[in-house]
Structure 1
C-alpha cells in the first residue's frame, strides 16, 4: 500500500494528501498508511465505488443466463440449479480467489489496474514489447467496458418501470438518455460531494438484495444444492453449444471484478477484502439463490430480479436500482479518467486537459475530452441497442478480454517478480486462464449480435495509441539527425560567448544529452544567452509516485548551464515551478518572476515517404494538434513562457 493520507471521501481516486501535485509520500505495505481515514470508512467507501459495477449484475445476469435453458420451452430443476451453480462458482473462483486473494497482492507501489500490472510485468522482463502491446489491448478493452457499462446498467434499471406500469414502456429510452446526460454533465463538478453518498447507498442496496431473497429461499431450501459443483459440471456437459451460450451470460455476474484491482490504490487491500467477504459476496449469493427459488416456484417468470420484491416494494426497488446503477457507472467513468491519466504519463496518448476537482485529493480528476467521448459513445449505444438484453451480448467480450490479459500478466509477475518457479506460477494462474478462455469463447459466439462493439472500440483505440507511440518515435528519430550534442554546444559558447542577459532560462527537452531546439533557435535569432540556463527533462517513472529522494536531480555543466531531471509517477500531475523550488536546498535560487520557460512548438506536416502510411500520418497530426499545451500540462504560468516554432514532417 502507498503510505500516504488517503482521502476519506468514498469515490476519490488515489492520491497523496500532503502534496497533491508533487505526490510526496513513502511507499510501504499495510493499511496503516491511510492515515486519518478510518478503516470502516474505507470499507464503506469501497462498497460504493469498487463494488458498484458487480453489485448491479443481479439485475440482468441470472435472467440472461437462463436463456439457453428456456430455449426448448421446458425448464428443468437441474437446469435452474446448474445455472445458479455456474454463477456461484464463477464468483468464488474469479472474484474471490483470483482478484481478492491473488491479484490484490500484485500492487505496483500501492496502485492496481491493467496498466499498473503492465508496468510491473515489463519491469520484471526488462522491458518487453509483447507485454506493452498486451497492456495496450487491455487498456483499450477497458475503455470499451467504460462505454457499455453505463448504457446497460441504466437501461436495465429503468426497464423496471415497465413492471410498475406498462404505460412506461415507451419512456424507457428517453429516461435512460436523460439520466446518462445528467451523469456525464455533473462530472465536471467533481465527485467529492456525491461520493460521500456512494458507500451508504450501496450498503443499503446490498442489504436490500439479500433481504428481498430470504423469503423465497426459505420457501425452497433445496436451492442450496447449487453450491454443489456437480450441477455446474452436469449442466456444461449436457448442453453442448447451449452451455457456451449460457457461460457468456453467467460471465455477466462477475463483470465488475476488474474494478476491484483498479481501485486498489484508493482503498487498500484489507478494506476491499473485508467489504467483499463481509457484505458484498454474501448478499450477491443470497440474491442469486432467491432468484433461483422464484424461478423454481414460477418457471415462466420474465424478470426474476424485480419479482423477488412484493408489489408495494417494487417502486422503491426500481428507484434504488436506478441510483445503484448510476453509482456503478460512476465507478467505471472515474476508472476511465484514471486510466487515461496513466496512459498519458506512459506515453500511450497525447497530453489531454486534466482538471483537478478537489484541492485536497489529487486523485479526483476530470478529463473533458474523455468525458465527451464517453458520453457520445454511451448515448449512441443506448439508442442503437434500446434494451439491456440486446446490450448484454456486447458486454461480455470487453471484460473477458481484459481479465484474460490481467491473468496473463499476473503469471509473468508471479514468475519473474515473485520468483516462483514457472510450474508453480502456471499452476496458480492456469485454472483462471482456462476458465476465462471458456468465457471468452462463449462471448465470441455473440460477436454478430453486438459483441463486435467493444472489439471495434478497442481496435480504434489501439490504432490511436499505436499511431501516437509510433509517430512520437519517428519524430524523435528525425530530429536526432539535426541534433547538436549539448556538451559540444556549451564548450563552443564558453570559447566565444554571446551577449548575456539577466535572469534564468529553462529549456524543456526529452533528451538531456542534446541541445534543445528552442535554445538553438534563441541563439540563432536573438543572439543572446541568459545568465543561468537550465536544460530540464521531465521523466515518468514506472511507479505511481516518484520518491522524494529521486524527485529532482541537478548537475552543473558549466558556469552558465545546469542539467535538471525531474521525476513524476504515472499517477501524478507534473508541476514544474513547484518542483523547482525544491532546489533551494541545493543552493539553486529560483525566482519564477525572473525565469522564462522556452518551449519548442512543432508544426507537423505529412511526408511523402515516412515510416507510417498517409492515413496514420493524418491521425498523428490530428492528435498532436489536439494535445494539451505543455504550459498547462506542466502547470507553468502562461506569462513566463516563450514558444519557438519549428516545422517537421512525419
Structure 2
C-alpha cells in the first residue's frame, strides 16, 4: 500500500452538485438509521426481562432505571460520541473502521502493526454484527404475528427464513430501485413508533423523569452484577450507531446529523417512554411491549411495516459488508474477490457474490440455531461493543496525530466514551455462554483469515525480492544481447515490485527469446485515502526507448480499472493501441517448503485463499482476450 505525501483532492464524482440537504437526510433515515430504528422491537423488553420483570410484576424503579440507561446511552454514545465528535474524523469524506485505520496510519507517517491489528479486529467484529443483525431483526418483526393469531406460531421460523433467503437473492439486482423506498418507509416507521409512544407516554408522564441520570446510576449501583447484565441488554438500543459513521461517505456529515437530531432520536425516545408507560399500567405487556402499544386493528399493518423496516435494516448491514470487504481487499487485508457494479450512476453500489453467499448461510444458521429473537439478543451486542472500543481507540490516535490536539486533550475527549464502551463490552461478555460466542467466533475466523493473508502475502513479497532480478540489471543484459528477437505491439507486465523484473517477463525471455517493441512495467498501488483524483491516477517513468514504468494509484474505496486508467496515459503523451497490447501476467502455484517461515496450517489457509482469489484479469477489468498467463512456482 502506497503512502501519499501530497493532499489529494476529491474525484469529479464527488465534486458534482449533490442532492439537497432534505433529500439526503431522507435517504440517510432509511439507510443509516434502519438498524438502530428497529432496536425498539426488542431492546426495552430484553432489558426489563434481564432486570427480573415478570408477566405479572413490573417495578416502577426498574422501569425508570432501564429507561434512564437507554436515554443516556442514546445521548452519550450516539449523539455525542458519533454524531458530534466522530463524524468530524472523516478520511476525505469517508467513515468507518477501515477509513479510520487508514487515517490513523497516514497520520502516523508509517505503518504501525498495533494500529493495523486494531483495524483488523474492528473489521472482523463487523462481520459478526452483519450476520446477527438480519437474523435478530427479521425474527423480532415476524414474531409480532403471534399477537395477531397463535396459529402462526409454528410458521414464525420458516417465514423468517423465507424473507432472509429472498433478501439475499435480490442482492445481485442492486439496491438502487429498492433504496428509493428506504427513506420514506423508515420515516413512516419512525412516525408510527413516535405516535404510539406519545399516546402511552401521556398516560404516565412520570416516565419523563428517566431523563434524570440519577435513575440510571442508582439502578446500576443498587443491583450489582444484575445491573451489569441489564447494561448488556440496554446496549441493544444503540446497535447500529457504527452505521452512521460508516455511511458518512454516502450522504455526508450534515444530512446524517439532521436525520438523527430531528427524526430518529426524538422518535426513539418517545417509543421507549411509551413502552415504559405501557408496562407500568399493564405489567402483562412485558411479553411484547412494542407491538402491544398498538390497538388490535393496527397490529397486522404494524407487523408488515416492522418487517419492511427490518428488511431495510438488514439491507444496510449487507451493503456495509460489501463495502467493508471491498476496502479490505484494496488495503491488502483480504484476497481479491469478484466485485460487480449494480449501478452505472453510483460507484459505491456493488455486489460481491462470495460475501453474499457466506453471509446468507451464516444468517440462516443463526435463525435455525437460536429460533427466536430473545435467544439471539444474548448473542447480539458483543461484536458491536467491541467495534466501538476499536473506533474510540483509533479516534484518540487520529485526534492526537491528525488533528494535532495536545495528548491530554485527545485522551480526555475520547477516554470517557472509551470507558463507557468498555463497560458495555464487559456487560456483554457476561453473555458469552448464552450465545455471545457466535459473533466472537465469526470475528475470530475473519481475523485468522485476514492475518493469514497479510502474513502469507508478506512472505511472497520477500521471496520475490530474494528471487527476482533488479530491472536495471536485466535491461543492461538485454542491451548487450543480440539473440533476443523483437515482436510488434506492446506488452504490459503487472507487478507489485516495479524495481524488480516481473517473473512473467523473465519467463517470457527464457522461453520465447523475444521482446515486444514496447514494454510496460505496471504497478497498481492503493492510497490511504478513499478516492484519488483522475489527474493523480497515472505516473509514467520513461526508462529507455523500449521500457517504461507506469504506476496506477487508486483510493481504497475505488475499483481498479486498468484499460480505463491507461487511457489517461494518452494525455501524458504515451500513444498505444489497446488491440495491439498484451497483458502478460504471472500465475503462481504456491507450495509450503520444509523450512517454511509460516506455520503449516496458516500456510495451507493462505494457499487456499490464493487459489480462490479472483483472477487479476477479472479484478483489474482487463479484457480476457488480451491476457497471457505464464505459470510459475514458489515455495513459502
Give yes or no for TM over 0.5.
yes
SS in structure 2 at match of 1:599: strand
Residue 49 of structure 1 corresponds to 31
Equivalent in 507, 510, 522 of residue 508 of structure 2: 522
Residue 324 of structure 1 corresponds to 309
User: Alpha-carbon deviations, 1:20-73, whole Å to 9, x = none?
Assistant: xx983387xxxxx56142221111100000000000000000000102332588
Equivalent in 36, 41, 48 of residue 59 of structure 1: 41
Instruction: Give distance in 1, aligned partners of 2:51 and 2:438.
Output: 26
Residue 432 of structure 1 corresponds to 417
SS in structure 2 at match of 1:414: helix
Does structure 1 residue 280 correspond to structure 2 residue 280? Answer: no
1:135-534 equivalent positions in 2, closer than 5 A = 135-301=119-285, 302-497=287-482, 498-534=484-520
Q: Residue 10 of structure 2 contacts residue 92 of structure 2 at CA under 8 Å; is this kept in 1?
A: no
Number of aligned residue pairs: give it.
Answer: 624
Equivalent in 570, 578, 584 of residue 592 of structure 1: 578
Residue 615 of structure 2 corresponds to 629
Instruction: Give distance in 2, aligned partners of 1:492 and 1:360.
Output: 49
Instruction: Give distance in 2, aligned partners of 1:119 and 1:309.
Output: 47
Q: Residue 51 of structure 1 contacts residue 328 of structure 1 at CA under 8 Å; is this kept in 2?
A: yes
Instruction: Give distance in 1, aligned partners of 2:228 and 2:279.
Output: 21
SS in structure 1 at match of 2:597: coil
Residue 93 of structure 1 corresponds to 76
Q: Residue 50 of structure 2 contacts residue 233 of structure 2 at CA under 8 Å; is this kept in 1?
A: no
Instruction: Give distance in 2, aligned partners of 1:162 and 1:514.
Output: 67
Equivalent in 21, 24, 30 of residue 11 of structure 2: 24
Q: Residue 379 of structure 2 contacts residue 436 of structure 2 at CA under 8 Å; is this kept in 1?
A: yes
- What is the TM-score normalised by the length of structure 1? 0.95
RMSD: 1.3
Q: Residue 487 of structure 1 contacts residue 557 of structure 1 at CA under 8 Å; is this kept in 2?
A: no
Most deviating of 422-431 and 240-249: 422-431
1:558-573 equivalent positions in 2, closer than 5 A = 558-573=544-559
SS in structure 2 at match of 1:300: helix
> What displacement does 1:567 show?
0.2
> What displacement does 1:547 show?
2.3
Instruction: Give distance in 1, aligned partners of 2:290 and 2:593.
Output: 59
Does structure 1 residue 576 correspond to structure 2 residue 558? Answer: no
- Structure 1 gap segments, 5+ residues each: 1-21, 28-32
Q: Residue 26 of structure 1 contacts residue 547 of structure 1 at CA under 8 Å; is this kept in 2?
A: no
Q: Residue 152 of structure 1 contacts residue 388 of structure 1 at CA under 8 Å; is this kept in 2?
A: yes
Instruction: Give distance in 2, aligned partners of 1:107 and 1:118.
Output: 11
Instruction: Give distance in 2, aligned partners of 1:213 and 1:115.
Output: 37
Instruction: Give distance in 2, aligned partners of 1:206 and 1:622.
Output: 46
User: Alpha-carbon deviations, 1:277-330, whole Å to 9, x = none?
Assistant: 011100000000000100110123211100101111111110000000000000
Residue 648 of structure 1 corresponds to 634
> What displacement does 1:461 show?
0.7
Instruction: Give distance in 1, aligned partners of 2:582 and 2:19.
Output: 41
- Judged with a 3 Å threshold, the aligned counterparts in structure 2 of structure 1 residues 202 and 71 are, in CA distance, closer, same or farther, namely closer
Instruction: Give distance in 2, aligned partners of 1:111 and 1:166.
Output: 47
Most deviating of 84-93 and 423-432: 423-432
User: Alpha-carbon deviations, 1:320-369, whole Å to 9, x = none?
Assistant: 00000000000000000000000000001000000000111111000000
Q: Residue 58 of structure 2 contacts residue 279 of structure 2 at CA under 8 Å; is this kept in 1?
A: no
Q: Residue 90 of structure 1 contacts residue 251 of structure 1 at CA under 8 Å; is this kept in 2?
A: yes
Structure 1 consecutive aligned stretches of length 4 or more whose deviation exceeds 6 Å: none
Instruction: Give distance in 2, aligned partners of 1:649 and 1:185.
Output: 40
Instruction: Give distance in 2, aligned partners of 1:379 and 1:68.
Output: 26
Instruction: Give distance in 1, aligned partners of 2:395 and 2:51.
Output: 35
